[in-house]
Chain A
Amino acid sequence: MSDPLFEYLCRLGDNTLVLGHRVSEWCGVAPVIEEDIALANTALDLIGQTQLWLGLAGEVEGKGRDADKLAYHRDVWDFRNLLLCEQPNGDFGQTMMRQFLFDSWHVMHLKGLMASSNDQIAAIAEKSVKEVTYHVERSTDTVIGLGDGTEESHSRMQNGLNKLYPFVGEMFLSDDVDTAMADAGIAPDPASHRAGYDAHLDDVLTEATLTKPEDDFAHKGGKSGTRHTEHLGHMLTQMQWLQRAYPDATW
């Protein structure tokens, strides 16, 4: 295993990078202009946070790689994002369900990181949490509005939840990297957020008249990089093609 701090920062930065890119795929094609703008703004926040996380990862690594190098010049097996983040957009309902499942975890996670023993991590978390608070507010409202909406919107949200729920469990699994971070006081143990997350999910899903799948099976392998889903590679061919075709191209 390489330096656990570098690994951990890549996890943080790859979550926001991969989800940020996914969300940006909606730019110009969302159902209504307000949602188009909201999605683009969310993507922008996430990509901005990526610059901070991956920028710090590059500094920690000390091999001269900056955020752009890490984002555009790594291949799929070097990515450390949660599998949830790389799942395709599907319809608007599925996109918003993915956002809700992620945001609910993201905001708790960042609040935990604000108490990090690493000042730079604490500062990035402090900055990001303000933005993510707006994300979770919107995705929660949307999940409730569409879940408790028409028969059509309800069934789409339920389908989205059924499809994405198996990717939730990975957020709370610990491995050697997480243990090293928790021991150093850099980040909280992922399992410590599970109870709060479940309680929040239950509240929102009840209000949204949606049913959480009973099966707690969790796909894993994203944050460790051992097994991504097929979707990430396809996404990278879009996201990285310019830097691959014309390495180090600039405006």
Chain B
Amino acid sequence: MVRPAPQPVPGVVRAPHVPAEKSAGKPRLETVWEWLSAIPDPEIPVITLTDLGIIRDVQWQGDTLEVTVTPTYSGCPATSIINLDIETALRGHGIEKLTLKRQLSPAWTTDWLTDAGRAKLEEYGIAPPQPAGGPQHCPHCKSTQVEKISQFGSTPCKAQWRCQSCREPFDYFKCI
């Protein structure tokens, strides 16, 4: 599959290469979460990894930072890019010892998408997931007259829908 180059990671671009809070020893976990919340999803760069809810834990194990990540879909090609982006960002902030842990259970669910993430998706033109199993309304014209084209879309996490009012097709971030 041909994929576009990953979006620049804002945290890395902006942050000067100062050893992160070196005077205090290890950076605080809140700080690490802030860095992680600046990393965009490689497939849908309008939301971040923390918006997606895939970062399950951040802990110091001695002098090693352990970040626990859960995959969205088993075969999602973005998973390895996400791990690479996390590593790149944290190393850019001066983290030298880092391990990424994969956690499968509890399995990722779209319930973990943050409210901010949902709002950003909608603004971007992707209808956020709904408990009812379909979009609330067209993300473009807000009409509720929408129909499903296919449960499968351009990435594993999206379905294809169409608005019957404005006739625009749109992506729906499907529930799992």
Residues on A lying within 8 angstroms of B by beta carbon are 34-35, 37-38, 41-42, 44-49, 51-52, 119-120, 122-124, 126-128, 130-131, 134, 137-138
Contacts of B150 in A (CB 8 A): 34-35, 37-38
Within 8 A of A (CB), among B144-166: 149-154, 156, 160
Contact indicator per residue, chain B 106-149, by CB within 8 Å of chain A (1) or not (0): 11110000000000000000000000000000000000000001
Stretch at the interface among B4-12, B33-41, B60-68, B70-78: B70-78
In the complex, B100 has a CB within 8 A of chain A:
no
Interface residues on B, range: 20 to 34
Find out whether the CB atom of A44 lies under 8 angstroms from the CB atom of B156: yes
Contact A124 B104 (CB under 8 A): yes
B160 touches A34 (CB 8 A): yes
Q: For A37, what are the chain B residues with a Cβ–Cβ distance below 8 Å?
A: 150, 152-154, 160
Cα distance, A48 to B160, chains bound together (Å)? 22
Asked whether, in the complex, the Cβ of B107 is within 8 Å of the Cβ of A41, the reply is no
User: Once the chains are docked, how many angstroms separate the CA of A146 from the CA of B105?
Assistant: 37
Residues of A within 8 A of B151 (CB): 38, 134, 137-138
Residue numbers in B under 8 Å from A49 (CB-CB): 74-75
Measured CB to CB, the residues of B under 8 A from A are 71, 73-77, 104-109, 149-154, 156, 160, 174, 176
Which residue of chain A has the shortest Cβ distance to B74 in the bound complex? A48
Chain A interface, DSSP helix/strand/loop, else mixed: helix
Complex contact A47–B105 (CB within 8 A): no
Contacts A44-B75, A131-B73 given; indicate if A126 touches B176 (C-beta within 8 A): no
The CA of A1 and the CA of B160, in the complex, are separated in Å by: 47
How far, in angstroms, from A30 to B105 measured CA to CA in the complex? 35
A95 to chain B, nearest CB (A): 15
Evaluate contact between A45 and B156: CB separation under 8 angstroms: yes
A-B contact pairs, 16 of them (CB 8 A): A37-B160, A41-B153, A44-B77, A45-B75, A45-B156, A48-B73, A49-B74, A49-B75, A52-B104, A120-B104, A123-B105, A124-B104, A127-B108, A130-B109, A131-B73, A137-B151
Pairwise interchain contact A41-B152, C-beta atoms closer than 8 A: yes
Which residues of chain B come closer than 8 Å to A52, judged between CB atoms? Answer: 74, 104
Can you name 9 extra interface pairs (CB under 8 A) apart from A38-B151, A38-B152? A34-B149, A38-B150, A44-B156, A45-B75, A46-B75, A51-B74, A123-B107, A131-B156, A134-B176
C-alpha spacing A127/B152, complex, angstroms = 18
Please determine whether A47 and B75 come into contact, CB atoms closer than 8 angstroms. yes
Closest 7 CB pairs of A and B: A48-B75, A48-B74, A123-B105, A38-B152, A44-B75, A123-B104, A41-B152
A127 and B75 contact, Cβ closer than 8 Å, known pairs A44-B156, A138-B152: no
* Residue pair A126, B105 in contact (C-beta under 8 Å): yes
Question: In the complex, what residues of B have CB within 8 A of residue A46's CB?
Answer: 75
Q: Tell me whether A131 and B154 are in contact in the complex, defined as CB-CB below 8 angstroms, given that A34-B160, A123-B104, A123-B105 are known contacts.
A: no
A127 x B156 contact (CB < 8 A): no
Least distance between B17 CB and chain A CB atoms (Å): 29
* Chain B residues closer than 8 Å to A38, beta-carbon distance: 150-152
A48 to B78, CA, bound (A): 12
Q: Closest approach, in angstroms, between the C-beta of B150 and any C-beta of chain A?
A: 4
Contact B152 A126 (CB under 8 A): no
Task: Identify B104's interface contact among A42, A126, A131, CB under 8 A.
Answer: A126
Residues of A within 8 A of B160 (CB): 34, 37
- Which residues does chain A contribute within 8 Å of B74, judged by CB atoms? 45, 48-49, 51-52, 127-128, 131
| Minimum CB distance partner of A138 in chain B | B151
Chain A residues positioned under 8 Å from B77 (CB to CB): 44
Residues of A near B153 (CB, < 8 A) are: 37, 41
